Amino acid sequence: MKLRCPICGKTYEKPVQRCECDEPVEFEAFRSEPYIGKNVWERFYDFWPVKPALEFSLGEGDTPLVKSRLGREFGIKLYLKNETVNPTWSFKDRGTFLAMSYALKAGYKAVGTVSTGNMAASVAAYASRFGLKAKIFVSESASEEKLKAVGVYGGDVIRVRGDYGRLYFESLKLGEKLGVHFINSDNPFRIEGYKGIAFEIAEEVSPDYVLIPTSSGGLFRGIAKGFTELHESGLIDDLPTLIAVQAEGCSPICRAFKEGKAKIERFENPKTIAKAIANPYPPSGNAVLKLLREFGWGCVSVSDEEIKEGQRKLAGEGLFVQPASATGIAALEKLDLPEGAKVVSILTGSGLKTLKNTPAGKIRECPLEELENCLR
C-alpha cells in the first residue's frame, strides 16, 4: 500500500513517517464496504493498512455517542463522542493499537514515543500488552503525577533535557538508526487508527458538523480521512463540516488560517490549561491547514475561561473530561450554527488525567447530629 505526502504529493512504496519535504505522509485512500463484526476493526476490515492484531486488543474503540442536553441552548442536536472510555482514557489508544499491530508484524522489538501525557501512557500500556519494549521520551518539565501514570506499565521513561521541540525529529532519526519504531503524533498508522472515530459516528448519525480538539493535527487528519473514505466508497452522501478547535493560548493553526497564511508559524510562549493541545509548532499543522482550505472547513480558538465553563457544563451531564476535551463545547458559543444542525463534539480524554485544573465543586460539612437539617 502506497504512502503519499498530502502537501507535495510524492508517493512512497515502503513505510516512512515523513516526506522529503518534511511533511507527514499518509496512506492512500481505502475504498470498501463494511462487514458484520463485533468491533470497529472487524466491521471496517478493508479500511486498515495492516491486519489488526486483535488478540492483543484492550477493547479500544466502539466508544459511546451520547446525546447531550446542552444542544438545546444553541438550538442544535448535540452528540458527544466519549473517547474517555478507551483503555488508557483517551483517543490515543486507537492509533497506538494499529501502529503497534504494524510494529509486531514488521518484527520490531521496541517501540517509542515523544509525549508527556495521553500518548505516553497509551504507548507504554500497549507495549506491555504486545510484549514489546517501550522507550518514552518526556520533557524535563513533565510532572511526577504524569510520569507515574506512564511508568506504571514498566516502560523505559527517559526525561530529556534540552529543546523539547527538536525531540520529535530526533526520535525519528534515532529510531531508524537503532530499530525502535516511534509512534509519534502523526505516525501514518496512528492516523489510520483515528479513522475509526469517523466510522463509528457515521454508523449512528449523519452529522452536519464535527468539532475536533486540535494539537499536533493527527486526530483531525484521521477523522477527516475517515469521513472522506466513507464518502468516496459511497457509504455516506455528504461530508460533514469539520471544525478544528484550539486554545487561544496556543493556536498556531487557527492563527495561520485566520491570517490567510500558507504555512503555520511557531506559536511563541504558549500558555493554556489545555496542555494536551498546547503544541506550539504542530507537525501536522500544514496538512490540517490544507484540509481546512480545500474543503471550506473552519478553525476556532477558545479562552481558558471558556474551556473551564465547557468542563463545568459537561460535568453537569455526568462527563468528567480534561480541559482539551471541553474546547468543542466552548466553541459552540462562537459558532453560528443553523437551527437543528446535527453536531458531534469529540471528548478526547478523561479529567482524571488533569485533576490540578479541575473546577472545584462545593463541599459542605455537617455534624452527624444535624444531618437531617443539612439534608433539608
Eight-class DSSP state of 359: P
Asked whether the beta carbons of 83 and 319 are under 8 A apart, the reply is no
How many Cβ atoms from other residues are within 10 Å of residue 203's Cβ?
A: 15
pLDDT for residue 359: 67
Please give the backbone phi and psi of residue 68, each rounded to the nearest 5 degrees, phi first. Answer: -110, 140
- Which burial class, exposed, middle or buried, applies to 139 when counting CB atoms under 10 A from its CB (0-12, 13-18, 19+)? middle
Question: Can you list the alpha helix ranges (DSSP code H) found in the chain?
Answer: 40-43, 92-105, 118-130, 144-151, 164-178, 188-204, 218-232, 252-258, 285-295, 304-315, 327-331, 371-375
Q: For the chain, list the domains and their CATH numbers.
A: 65-89+188-354 (3.40.50.1100), 90-182 (3.40.50.1100)
The Cα 24–Cα 217 span in angstroms is 10
pLDDT of residue 206: 98
Asked if 187 and 95 count as a contact pair (C-beta separation under 8 A), the reply is yes
* pTM recorded for the entire structure: 0.94
- Please say whether the beta carbons of 212 and 243 come within 8 A: yes
Residue 133 burial (10 A CB sphere; 0-12, 13-18, 19+):
middle
Answer left, alpha or beta for residue 87, where phi above 0 means left and psi between -120 and 50 means alpha.
alpha
Q: Are 253 and 288 in contact (CB under 8 A)?
A: yes
CA angle 140, 146, 148 (to 5 degrees): 105
Q: Beta partners for 158?
A: 137
- CA atoms of 286 and 270, how far apart (whole Å): 19
pLDDT, tens digit (0-9, with 9 covering 90-100), for 312-329:
999 999 999 999 999 999
Predicted pLDDT at 357: 65
Distance (Å, whole) CA 78 – CA 68: 5
Mean pLDDT per 10-residue run, the chain (376 residues)?
91 91 93 90 97 98 97 96 97 98 97 90 97 92 79 91 82 94 95 98 98 96 98 97 97 96 92 91 95 97 96 95 96 95 97 75 86 88
> Could you identify the residue written with the cell 534515532?
174
Tell which residue, 303, 309, 310, 252, has the closest CA to residue 273. 303
Copy the grid coordinates of residue 279.
Answer: 503544541
